[in-house]
């Protein structure tokens, strides 16, 4: 109970060991505290100095040696109040610099961003982003190069995806690569090939491009590329191919 509470205060395990050792010893040298806490002299000295800065430890020099002593445990509450005041001031400081941070963030939006996702949970997060982003866009639609190699995996990851898409009124055009593939509603489908499949499933939507494939262990891997210009180029290629099929 004591150790768990001190961890909540912000102590590391080594700090807890030294603080409790000092409470038991009363006044002691660095060497004695280190032995009691089972830590080397350098680590013990550094931690005692940090505890001193927090007002939890004091020292006195006597007989050419420095002895440390723990302050009354009530000093923990005072130290906690100092931390609270510091957090409150930091919150005010962050609020003051938010406009500058937002300006930097908005400027960075013009630069391409890449996000990586792994496993079923990661790929489901990608599909959720497609629904959320495409659903809130003006077009409420997107394009897909649908791979028969990966189609079943995506269904297992998010079995209610198409029903959720239809519920949100999101339209989709799919160019299928490989056998299979059927219509679900609010969608159109054409085939580039009904024989040879593609190793990658590609989605193009609202300034983003998603690439989903399977790793050597058959676990799904995904990448989201956020770049409006690249997305526009891919949309042009898709539309041109669509018209020719």
User: Mean pLDDT for the chain?
Assistant: 90
* 118 and 212 part of one domain: yes
* 64 and 118 part of one domain: no
Tokens of 155: 């269904």
CA distances from 153 to 57, 163, 187, 203 (A): 59, 17, 20, 15
Indicate whether 151 belongs to any domain.
Answer: yes
CATH of the domain at 10: 1.10.10.10
* Confidence band for 8, pLDDT divided at 50, 70 and 90: confident
Q: Following DSSP, what letter does each residue of 196-212 receive, concatenated?
A: S--SEEEEEETTEEEEE
CATH of the domain at 211: 3.30.870.10
Tell me how far the alpha carbon of residue 59 is from its chain's centroid.
43
Of 28-42, 57-71, 146-160, minimum mean pLDDT range: 57-71
Q: Which helix (H) or strand (E) holds 2?
A: helix 2-9
Strand partners, 65: 62
The mean per-residue pLDDT over the stretch 18-31 comes to: 87
* 50 and 141 part of one domain: no
Indicate whether 158 belongs to any domain.
Answer: yes
* 237 and 119 part of one domain: yes
Q: Please give the pLDDT value at position 110.
A: 66
* 234 and 149 part of one domain: yes
* 136 and 236 part of one domain: yes
What percent of the chain lies above the pLDDT cut of 90? 54
Indicate whether 87 belongs to any domain.
Answer: no
Tell me how far the alpha carbon of residue 63 is from its chain's centroid.
54
Instruction: Name the domain count of the chain.
Output: 2
* 184 and 235 part of one domain: yes
Q: For the chain, how many residues are written? A: 245
* 62 and 125 part of one domain: no
Indicate whether 80 belongs to any domain.
Answer: no
Of 51-55, 60-64, 224-228, minimum mean pLDDT range: 60-64
The mean per-residue pLDDT over the stretch 146-151 comes to: 92
Q: pLDDT digits over 93-142, tens only?
A: 999 998 888 888 766 666 788 999 999 999 999 999 999 999 998 889 99
d(CA 23, CA 129): 53
Indicate whether 105 belongs to any domain.
Answer: no
User: Looking at the predicted structure, is the pLDDT value of residue 184 above 80?
Assistant: yes
Indicate whether 98 belongs to any domain.
Answer: no
The mean per-residue pLDDT over the stretch 225-233 comes to: 92
Q: Please give the pLDDT value at position 66.
A: 86
Q: 222: buried, middle or exposed (CB in 10 Å: 19+, 13-18, 0-12)?
A: buried
Indicate whether 174 belongs to any domain.
Answer: yes
Of 59-68, 170-179, 233-242, minimum mean pLDDT range: 59-68
What percent of the chain lies above the pLDDT cut of 70? 98
* 46 and 144 part of one domain: no
The mean per-residue pLDDT over the stretch 24-44 comes to: 89
Domain that residue 43 falls in: 2-72
pTM as predicted? 0.58
* 130 and 196 part of one domain: yes
Q: Please give the pLDDT value at position 231.
A: 93
């Amino acid at each position: 109970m004591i150790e768990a509470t001190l961890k909540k205060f912000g102590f590391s395990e080594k700090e807890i060991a030294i603080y409790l050792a000092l409470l038991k010893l009363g006044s002691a040298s660095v060497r004695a505290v280190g032995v009691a806490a089972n830590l080397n002299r350098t680590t013990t000295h550094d931690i005692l100095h940090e505890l001193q800065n927090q007002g939890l430890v004091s020292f006195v020099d006597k007989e050419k040696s420095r002895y440390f002593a723990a302050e009354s445990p009530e000093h923990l509450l005072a130290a906690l109040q100092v931390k609270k005041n510091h957090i409150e001031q930091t919150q005010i400081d962050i609020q003051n610099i938010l406009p500058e941070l937002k300006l930097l963030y908005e400027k960075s939006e013009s630069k391409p961003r890449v996000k990586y996702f792994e496993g079923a949970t990661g790929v489901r997060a990608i599909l959720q982003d497609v629904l959320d982003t495409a659903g809130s866009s003006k077009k409420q639609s997107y394009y897909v190069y649908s791979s028969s190699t990966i189609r079943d995996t995506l269904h297992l990851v998010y079995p209610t995806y198409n029903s959720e898409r239809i519920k949100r009124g999101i339209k989709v055009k799919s160019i299928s690569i490989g056998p299979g593939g059927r219509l679900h509603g609010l969608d159109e489908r054409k085939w580039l090939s009904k024989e040879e499949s593609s190793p990658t499933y590609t989605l193009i939507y609202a300034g983003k491009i998603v690439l989903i494939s399977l790793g050597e262990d058959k676990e799904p891997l995904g990448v989201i590329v956020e770049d409006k210009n690249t997305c526009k180029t891919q949309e042009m290629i898709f539309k041109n191919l669509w018209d020719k099929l």
